[in-house]
A and B are shown apart, each in its own frame.
Chain A
Amino acid sequence: MKLIQAIIKPFKLDEVKEALIELGIQGMTVTEVKGFGRQKGHKETYRGTEYQIEFVPKIKLEIAVADSRVNEALEAITRAAKTGSIGDGKIFVSELQSVIRIRTGETGEGAI
Chain B
Amino acid sequence: MFTYKFRKIGLSFFGFFILSVQSISSAFAQEGSLVNAGDTGWVLTSSALVLAMIVPGLALFYGGMVRSKNVLSTMMHSFIAICLVSVVWVFWGYSLAFGPDVGGMIGNLDFVGLTGVGPEPSEGSTIPHLAFMVFQLMFAGITVALISGAIAERMKFSAFVLFAVLWVTCIYAPLAHWVWGGGWLAGLGDLDFAGGTVVHISSGVAALVCALVLGKRNGYGTDNMSPHSLPFTVIGAGLLWVGWFGFNAGSALAADGIAASAFVATQIAAAAGALAWLSVEWGYRGNPTMLGAASGAVAGLVAITPAAGFVGPVSAILIGVGGGVVCYLGVFLKNKMGYDDALDVLGIHGIGGTWGGLATGLFASVGGGTGLFFGNPGQVVIQAIGVGATWVFAGVGTFVILKVVEGVVGLRVSKEEEVIGLDLTQHSERAYG
Contact = CB atoms under 8 A, between A and B. Distances in A.
B423 interface: no
Closest 10 CB pairs of A and B: A51-B224, A47-B331, A51-B226, A46-B226, A48-B332, A48-B335, A48-B331, A46-B291, A49-B335, A46-B227
Interface in A15-50: 44-49
A111 interface: no
B287 interface: yes
A93 interface: no
B226 A44 contact: yes
Contacts of A46: 226-227, 289, 291
Interface string B205-236: 00000000000000000001111000000000
B224 A45 contact: no
Nearest to B344: A47
A45 B227 contact: no
Given A51-B224, A51-B226, A53-B224, A45 B344 contact: no
A8 to B, nearest CB: 25
Contacts of A48: 281, 285, 328, 331-332, 335
A44 B347 CA distance: 20
A49 B344 CA distance: 11
B226 A47 contact: no
Interface in B289-310: 289, 291-292, 295
A45 B224 CA distance: 11
B287 A45 contact: yes
A49 B291 CA distance: 12
A51 B289 CA distance: 15
Contacts of B344: 47
B238 to A, nearest CB: 18
A53 B226 CA distance: 10
Contacts of A45: 285, 287, 289
A57 to B, nearest CB: 15
Given A47-B295, A48-B281, 10 more contacts: A44-B226, A45-B289, A46-B226, A46-B289, A46-B291, A47-B331, A47-B347, A48-B285, A48-B332, A51-B224
Query: Secondary structure of the A side of the interface?
Result: strand
A44 B227 CA distance: 11
Contacts, number: 27
A88 B271 CA distance: 41
Contacts of A47: 291-292, 295, 331, 344, 347
A40 to B, nearest CB: 14
Contacts of B281: 48
Main secondary structure of the interface of B (DSSP, over half): helix
Most B C-beta atoms less than 10 A away, residue of A45, A48, A51: A48
A95 to B, nearest CB: 38
Contacts of B289: 45-46
Which one of A46, A47, A49, A53 has the highest number of Cβ atoms from chain B below 10 Å of its Cβ? Answer: A47
Nearest to B294: A47
A1 B335 CA distance: 55
A22 B226 CA distance: 42
5 contacts: A47-B292, A48-B285, A48-B331, A49-B225, A51-B225
B147 to A, nearest CB: 18
A48 B295 CA distance: 12
Contacts of A53: 224
Interface string A42-74: 001111110101000000000000000000000
A34 to B, nearest CB: 13
Interface in B242-284: 281
Contacts of A49: 225-226, 335
A99 B292 CA distance: 53
A6 B225 CA distance: 31
B376 to A, nearest CB: 36
Nearest to A46: B226
Contacts of A44: 226
Nearest to B65: A46
B267 to A, nearest CB: 24
Nearest to B329: A48
A56 B237 CA distance: 29
A49 B227 CA distance: 11
A46 B224 CA distance: 11
Contacts of B295: 47
A48 B337 CA distance: 13
Contacts of B292: 47
Nearest to A54: B224
Nearest to A49: B335
B410 to A, nearest CB: 28
Contacts of B335: 48-49
The residue among A44, A45, A53 with the most chain B CB atoms within 10 A of its own CB is A45
A48 B285 CA distance: 8
A45 B289 CA distance: 9
B109 to A, nearest CB: 43
A46 B281 CA distance: 11
A46 B233 CA distance: 12
